[in-house]
Amino acid sequence: MQTNYYFPGFEFCIVQLRKYIHAHEVFTIMLTDGRIVHYEPQNVTDFRNWLLQHQIEDLRSSVGNQIAA
């Protein structure tokens, strides 16, 4: 299986990403070095799927799971 470490048009490698939150069409992403970046992809669904494929933590899902527990 081939892994895409970079998403087209996004400057950071998947190993630099720690977690994200998505609102409207903007992704707010925490990098492994603690920096926060914002990214508005041309194709929101493809970018979100790329993050999910690489198991980058979605803060909405994690917070929702903690509240439900």
Show the DSSP H helices in 5-58 as ranges: 44-53
pTM, 2 dp: 0.84
CA distance 21 to 3: 23
pLDDT in tens, 5-32: 999 999 999 999 999 999 999 999 999 9
User: Longest C-alpha distance within the chain, in Å?
Assistant: 38
Cβ(18)–Cβ(32) below 8 Å: yes
Cα angle 47, 7, 44 (rounded to 5 degrees) comes to 20
pLDDT in tens, 51-64: 999 999 999 887 55
